[in-house]
Amino acid sequence: MKMQILPHQERFRSRIAFGLGAILGIGLMIGERGYIGDTWRLYSEDILFLTVQHIQLVLVSSGLAILVGVPVGIMLSRPRMQRYSEAVLQVFNIGTTIPTLALLALSITLLGIGFVPAVFGLWAATLLPIVRNVFQGLRSVPDYLKEAATGMGMTPLHILRSVELPNALFVIFAGIRTAVAVNVGTVPLAFLIGGGGLGELIFTGIDLNEMQMLMAGAIPVALLSIAADWILAKAQYWLIPRGVNPLRN
Amino acid sequence: MIKLEKLSKVFETPGGGSVIAADQVSMEVPEGEICVLLGPSGCGKTTTLKMINGLIQKTSGKIWVAGCDTDEQDPVQLRRSIGYVIQQIGLFPNMTIEDNICVVPDLLGWDKTKSRRRAGELLELVNLDPGIFLKRYPKELSGGQQQRVGVIRALAADPPVLLMDEPFGAIDPINRAVIQDEFLKMQTELRKTIAFVSHDIDEAIKMADKIAIFKDGVLEQYDSPDDLLARPANDFIASFLGQDRTLKRLSLLQVQDVMFGDQVRVMARDDLEKARGLMREVGHKNIVMVGPRGRARGYLHLNDILDSTGKVEEHYQGLPATVNIRDDLRSAVSKMFRHDTTWLVCVDDEGFFKGSITQRAISHALGATYRDSDVATGAAAEAL
């Protein structure tokens, strides 16, 4: 007989795994002589400075991507744009097939090196999942809801605001979560075009074959990704109305 | 209240052709009545309904709602003044039941506390506890509960006119009958003017004051359910209504329409001689015995008491069944068949004897309208 894994058992297991990991991590960190303690002693200043820079890159580029992506997605989903929407999305799709590194390199030719081209490259890479999910989310709102809304005397703007967007919110949020995850993971590459961030420690560490320096960059990057996803997951849980939130019942 | 005049809709098909979905439809729904638009799929009934509130643009013709030409009204304002119910219910999943009900009042800028209180009252009207349901989300309600909310949402701003597009189509038969009854009960108080799309003949007969039958965009016949069943205008309507359309009329007529009222009666203490005399006098084989205040208690059959003597109370038999004068003929016939009898005693709500009904009278009532219209055909047949 196959044993069934119940949800609470699964949670229990993952807690054990997490606990072991934490103990191991603490063990590594213990004391000035520990590996992480040692790294921190050597690179704390760099880590703090670059982490701030890293976060700035994430916030600015994904913030801009949301600011642009949501309205574009909304516009593409409007009935009178229907003819063009598939074509526009295809252009965006081709955009994502370009490797992010190449995208960053291309933005050098456009904007030179530094913070601005890095933000531009990251923005372009983050945009698609947002636009696509906003579009798909709005398109998947059932027609009869829109018909009921129209039939009761809502204007198109009203319908967008109080029917379409709230009902598409879960899908839209999923897109933003994916986009930010991609973004955080790509930011280290920004260093290559002079954008700064924790990539500086990683790539310099690789070049100098300095494992400790590499880890000083890699570990904060990993922690940042986890933190970002955790924050967005919480936001997704609490910000989306209960009636349309499959996570809440 | 709702008046359509030569209303037409032509859809252009991608191939360059055109489909006439509604062809010169003219009809009028008087104030406070339910008009059911009936017909097979693709007959233009839904198109006609949706042209009334402008969800589908008409190609030509005129529509008046509550005395106003809809061409002269802003479609958005017009829709806010017309209640609208669709088959898929269309409750907004992101809003609580309370907010769903108050959609139109909010659009009209009504006072929030007032509209919220009304939402509670409306819920009570359809037997849903406001304390439980106001703050719930649609996904937490059963299909039948959702459909009830869908109906009262259309009533929230108290519009004089309701458009309903197969509102009870997606509900199981048992719940549907319950909701139909609830709705009819509400309608007797509210007296809304209602256009109601359905493809279910039985629903139409039950709900409608008038039925409009559509075929291929043409309004074939617009009549009361009884006239429609008794005198279908053509073969299409006759076949659409079904072979058993005469039986369907049973549910339209009440017992009191057909029964023989003011029947002779005897009391328990009367002599059998008197009972026999009364029966011979009116030529009946049965006589009903009533209690002191006139409640039906039992009956005597002439053959059973031909040679007997004594009082009625010594010889009467119990009534196998009685039928309420406000029951429809359908249940009267059903009772006759169940008890294998050809007549039933009719009583009112208190059980007082009001008259009797016979199978002969029922078949005569159903056949009457046919005989009127069959006179010509009958004469023609005789001539052959």
Same domain, B72 and B14: yes
Q: Do B84 and A148 touch (CB under 8 A)?
A: yes
Say whether B67 sits in a helix, a strand or coil.
Answer: coil
Answer whether residue B377 shows pLDDT above 80: no
Closest chain A residue by Cα to residue B105: A152
* Least confident among A36-40, A88-92, A196-200: A36-40
pLDDT recorded at residue A156:
92
Tokens 């008038």 belong to which residue? B210
Whether residue A154 contacts residue B107, with contact meaning beta carbons closer than 8 Å, is answered with: yes
**Residue of A160 and B282 predicted with greater confidence:** A160
Q: Do B93 and A155 touch (CB under 8 A)?
A: no
Q: Do B92 and A144 touch (CB under 8 A)?
A: no
Q: Do B90 and A144 touch (CB under 8 A)?
A: yes
Q: Exposure string (b/e) for B23-57, b if CB count within 10 Å is 16 or more? A: bebebebeeebbbbbbbeeebbbbbbbbbbbbbbe
Closest chain B residue by Cα to residue A249: B140
Q: Stretch A55-65: mean pLDDT, rounded?
A: 93
Same domain, B324 and B341: yes
Same domain, B276 and B324: yes
Same domain, B176 and B264: no
B88 secondary structure, DSSP code: T
Rounded Cα distance, B211 and B196, in Å: 9
Q: Do A145 and B95 touch (CB under 8 A)?
A: no
Q: Do B107 and A154 touch (CB under 8 A)?
A: yes
Q: Stretch A42-67: mean pLDDT, rounded?
A: 90
Please report which confidence band the pLDDT of residue B309 belongs to, taking 50, 70 and 90 as the band edges.
confident
**Residue of B261 and A180 predicted with greater confidence:** A180
Q: Do the bridges between strand B343-347 and strand B322-324 make them parallel or antiparallel, or are there none, so unpaired? A: parallel
Question: What tens digit of pLDDT does each residue of A22-50 get?
Answer: 877 776 666 556 677 777 777 888 888 99
Rounded Cα distance, B97 and B102, in Å: 9
Q: Stretch A158-181: mean pLDDT, rounded?
A: 91
Domains and CATH numbers, chain A: 46-244 (1.10.3720.10)
Answer whether residue B384 shows pLDDT above 80: no
pLDDT recorded at residue B51:
93
Same domain, B208 and B347: no
| Structural domain includes residue B381 | no
Rounded Cα distance, A57 and A48, in Å: 14
Q: Do B55 and A150 touch (CB under 8 A)?
A: yes
pLDDT recorded at residue A26:
72
| Structural domain includes residue B378 | no
Closest chain B residue by Cα to residue A165: B94
CB-based contact, A10 to chain B, within 8 Å: no
pLDDT recorded at residue A6:
61
* Residue in A145, A158, A241 closest to B90 by CB: A145
pLDDT recorded at residue B369:
60
| Distance in Å, alpha carbon of A83 to nearest chain B alpha carbon | 15
Same domain, B245 and B259: no
Range of the domain at B290: 255-362
CB-based contact, A111 to chain B, within 8 Å: no
pLDDT recorded at residue B371:
52
Q: Do B94 and A167 touch (CB under 8 A)?
A: yes
**Residue of A71 and B263 predicted with greater confidence:** A71
Q: Stretch A114-122: mean pLDDT, rounded?
A: 88
Please report which confidence band the pLDDT of residue A18 belongs to, taking 50, 70 and 90 as the band edges.
confident
| Distance in Å, alpha carbon of B54 to nearest chain A alpha carbon | 8
Mean pLDDT, rounded, of chain A: 86
| Structural domain includes residue B383 | no
Question: Which chain A residues are within 8 Å of B53, Cβ to Cβ?
Answer: 151
Tokens 């030409």 belong to which residue? B69
pLDDT recorded at residue A102:
85
Closest chain A residue by Cα to residue B108: A153
CB-based contact, A155 to chain B, within 8 Å: yes
Same domain, B347 and B312: yes
Closest CA to B242 of B221, B228, B224: B228
Q: Do A148 and B138 touch (CB under 8 A)?
A: no
Q: Stretch B364-371: mean pLDDT, rounded?
A: 71
| Structural domain includes residue B368 | no
Answer whether residue B112 shows pLDDT above 70: yes
pLDDT recorded at residue B223:
92
**Where is the domain boundary, B228, B249, B270?**
B249
pTM: 0.77
CB-based contact, A153 to chain B, within 8 Å: yes
Say whether A221 sits in a helix, a strand or coil.
Answer: helix
Q: Do A243 and B94 touch (CB under 8 A)?
A: yes
Question: Which chain A residues are within 8 Å of B81, Cβ to Cβ?
Answer: 153
Instruction: Please report, rounded to a whole number, the percentage of residues in chain A having pLDDT higher than 90.
Output: 30
Q: Exposure string (b/e) for A192-221, b if CB count within 10 Å is 16 or more? A: bbebbbbbbbbbbbeeeeeeebbbbbbbbb
Q: Do A241 and B94 touch (CB under 8 A)?
A: yes
Answer whether residue A134 shows pLDDT above 70: yes
Q: Most A CBs within 10 Å: which of B92, B152, B197, as the mutation test of the A interface?
A: B92
Answer whether residue B26 shows pLDDT above 90: yes
pLDDT recorded at residue B370:
54
List phi, psi (to 5°) of A143.
-60, -35
Same domain, B196 and B302: no
pLDDT recorded at residue B302:
84
Q: Stretch B240-248: mean pLDDT, rounded?
A: 84
Same domain, B240 and B264: no
Question: What tens digit of pLDDT does each residue of B129-165 get?
Answer: 999 999 999 999 988 899 999 999 999 999 999 999 9
CA B66 to chain centre: 23
Same domain, B112 and B202: yes
Closest CA to B223 of B242, B247, B204: B204
CATH code: domain of residue B40:
3.40.50.300
CATH code: domain of residue B318:
3.10.580.10
Q: Stretch B11-16: mean pLDDT, rounded?
A: 84
Same domain, B166 and B262: no
Same domain, B163 and B267: no
CB-based contact, A145 to chain B, within 8 Å: yes
Whether residue B308 contacts residue B238, with contact meaning beta carbons closer than 8 Å, is answered with: no
Q: Stretch A68-80: mean pLDDT, rounded?
A: 92
Overall number of domains in chain B: 2
B352 DSSP β-pair partners: B295
Question: Which chain B residues are within 8 Å of A153, Cβ to Cβ?
Answer: 76-81, 104, 107
